[in-house]
Structure 1
């Protein structure tokens, strides 16, 4: 089963990843803050304990003496049942009294031994116990004796950890609440942001497949561009369909008469018994079928040229070689009809960008029109400056007032039943597809017709 990608899932993933990372950072920061807050709270208790002990130290009988009240250490006792240790040392570092021989502070702190009433904190490891040590250096407050001493108070970290966990749990509730609110807001925001896309999808799905009218749906700017792109696609499809409908209408109109003629000729021949009449009917049917085939080919060519989506890739070709090849192809047919078909070509190659089969179709239509309308001399001419492909005849020509009308489909200058009125229309379409300019003018001495395709100058693509 192929899992389809989802824009909703993709947006949610890309937005949730930074939120999860931010949530992890907030949790880590909350843990640090809880530890720091617990340390500050218990360090204040350590400070109060050392101060309470310092106030009870006296000088008696030439030595330091301490009557420690229970409240001095009870303030460090919490529900976590920490173990509390204390010790007093004289100015020379000798142990005076206490319930444990606690170590001193590190050397960087020891440099401040002369600091009066200084208080220092340090985390230590003592007898496999993790302790928080508070050290106060002070002296006896007596005008007769100012003996210096040091108070060391330490306690285990159970209370600190318990307080840090309590603070962290409180922060976790706040963080999880904010995360839940952010997630809900994110889901609603993404769904609301993608709602116009859902409306667009439903509008497209609900349309009749035969309907190519533009989409009229209010959308945000980003989706409005998609809507306009879809409308452009629908417009191209409308042009293609109109082109197909026009082709069907033109083909049915133009092919109806010759096909009906073929059917009538065949029916009439079947009623005859004379082989000569059969031969005559078959000859007429052959001519009609040839004209019908030619008409069908011209209709197909015209439809392909009129297709707005048809954009062929042009190639480099030599107009002189093209003209030479076509004259050679149609020379025998023209010679049998006593028509002088020739070519006037330059000494050098004339290179243009084009499609050889389309240009051959254009010259074929021009030569066929000249033959059909009574020309006795047809000249295919190529010139280099500017690149031109020209077909000139000495036939009846077309009056200047009707030359533009001849470019319309099915418009004929005469009532010749063999003509389809598509020849010049196809030539005009081929010229436009090559970026060439089509020109109609009288032939030499004002007789006949000269049709010129002038190509853009410059190096061919």
Structure 2
């Protein structure tokens, strides 16, 4: 989509920043929760220490004088004063019960006399409290144990923790923004490593050589190797195109020149016999040109690496081959050739492209009809090989091929010297290309009693 459409192009820098931003925001939230927990724990420890000191101070007042329900003004100020909350206290005697206080809150059993203060949580009118209790022996009656308890609300503790959190969040936010800025700067500078590759590509005109070099970063190697693979396929396609153009020019030049010659003959002569002869030659040359063009296209298609994977599947040669032979029997009868099929009654399945295999069979049978000669016998057979695949074999009783020419069968435009039958020399080249696509082994040899034998061994469907 163009820039004018209003949509921004994707940016690697923005994408990296957004990818990092969400986790960092999540980390900020987690860090805030942890910071608040740590601050609250610290505030609790400080307040617990103050609470224990307060209860010790109050107990010391009782040790130094007579115990009564009325506390000195200084003691009341010490206990009840809290700017952001409220403190409560009570004094209990093991013999006389509650001696005084300003709050009747729940508290655990009293600690042992003269032991360290015990801290506990309690509630008063639905409000949570934190308390400290200390037991001591009465100065006037050693058999009596006094329990001094002081409790305070949690508001001041939470307020102090929130203050610490509010101080920490701006600093943490500033650090995260600084990290994102450094990441942005680092990515911007880091992407400069791509500039040599960009310049190298910009200087190219029509070259399709690989772009992966020593200066390509490891992170984009998969991309450059994919591009190299695309270049390789493009080179193959362009090579096929150039070869097709050269082959077409080479193979079609002669028949097209012949067509023009015989057209001129027909135009320049009033003799019906000459015109008829010219038209017959035109018909033959037209058929030759059409067949050459068809086979050139078939060979190019067979050589092309761009295959539709969806066209491949399991193909039963025990069904495909007899149908292909049956379709060519009328031509074989006109050529005076006894064409037959031999194969198993059970399936002979391979993995491949049914259309390409049909093309292969058409060229094998066409090779028989053109070169076996009148009166020859030809058999197309399918033979399953246990654990080795399927053997497709074509055998005829024709004149055969000299041993020195067997190795060249399958070359483009190669024709055995002395052959009188018309042909393009492309049929077996097409067969060879399709065989390679199916991982089949192609072999040529002499048939028993003379003639030519062509064998293709396909791997079984389970091994493909």
State how far apart, in whole Å, the 1-side matches of 2:147 and 2:256 are. 125
TM-score for both structures, normalised by structure 1: 0.76
2:132 matched residue in structure 1 = 134
State how far apart, in whole Å, the 2-side matches of 1:5 and 1:272 are. 73
Alpha-carbon distance change, 68 to 46 in structure 1, aligned in 2, over 3 angstroms: farther
Deviation at 1:359, TM superposition (A): 0.3
Report 1:178-197 matches (<5 A): 178-184=175-181, 195=191
Q: 2:38 aligns with which of 23, 30, 33?
A: 33
Asked if the contact 2:299/2:433 (under 8 Å) is kept, the reply is yes
Deviation at 1:122, TM superposition (A): 4.2
2:338 matched residue in structure 1 = 342
1:403 matched residue in structure 2 = 406
Alpha-carbon distance change, 76 to 206 in structure 1, aligned in 2, over 3 angstroms: farther
Quick check: which has more Rg, 1 or 2? 1
State how far apart, in whole Å, the 1-side matches of 2:324 and 2:63 are. 129
TM-score for both structures, normalised by structure 2: 0.76
Q: 2:114 aligns with which of 107, 113, 116?
A: 116
1:337 matched residue in structure 2 = none
Alpha-carbon distance change, 437 to 29 in structure 1, aligned in 2, over 3 angstroms: closer
1:301 matched residue in structure 2 = 298
Report 1:62-461 matches (<5 A): 64=68, 68=72, 70=74, 73-74=77-78, 77=81, 80=83, 82-96=85-99, 100-103=101-104, 105-106=106-107, 109-112=108-111, 114-126=112-124, 132-139=130-137, 148-157=145-154, 159-184=156-181, 195=191, 206=202, 210-217=206-213, 218-221=215-218, 223-310=220-307, 313=312, 315-318=315-318, 321-322=322-323, 324-326=325-327, 328-334=329-335, 340-346=336-342, 348-349=344-345, 352=348, 353=350, 355-370=357-372, 375-383=373-381, 387-395=391-399, 397-414=400-417, 418-442=422-446, 449-456=451-458
Asked if the contact 1:196/1:220 (under 8 Å) is kept, the reply is no
Alpha-carbon distance change, 164 to 431 in structure 1, aligned in 2, over 3 angstroms: closer
State how far apart, in whole Å, the 2-side matches of 1:35 and 1:290 are. 97
- CA RMSD between the two structures: 4.3
For residues 405-430 of structure 1, give each alpha carbon's deviation from its aligned partner in whole angstroms, at most 9, with x where no partner exists.
34321233337694423233234334
Q: Which runs of 5+ in 1 are unaligned?
A: 335-339
Deviation at 1:178, TM superposition (A): 4.3
Query: How many residues are paired up?
Result: 440
Asked if the contact 2:123/2:129 (under 8 Å) is kept, the reply is yes
Any idea what SS the aligned residue of 1:34 has?
Answer: helix
Deviation at 1:328, TM superposition (A): 1.9
Bigger mean CA deviation after superposition, 422-431 or 251-260: 422-431
Deviation at 1:251, TM superposition (A): 0.6
State how far apart, in whole Å, the 2-side matches of 1:347 and 1:164 are. 90
Q: Which runs of 5+ in 2 are unaligned?
A: 1-5, 386-390
State how far apart, in whole Å, the 2-side matches of 1:200 and 1:381 are. 63
For residues 230-276 of structure 1, give each alpha carbon's deviation from its aligned partner in whole angstroms, at most 9, with x where no partner exists.
32332233222212211111011111121122123223432333444
Asked if the contact 1:47/1:134 (under 8 Å) is kept, the reply is yes
State how far apart, in whole Å, the 2-side matches of 1:93 and 1:179 are. 62
Any idea what SS the aligned residue of 2:225 has?
Answer: helix
Any idea what SS the aligned residue of 1:389 has?
Answer: strand
Asked if the contact 2:392/2:456 (under 8 Å) is kept, the reply is yes
Any idea what SS the aligned residue of 1:451 has?
Answer: strand
Alpha-carbon distance change, 440 to 124 in structure 1, aligned in 2, over 3 angstroms: closer
State how far apart, in whole Å, the 2-side matches of 1:43 and 1:443 are. 107
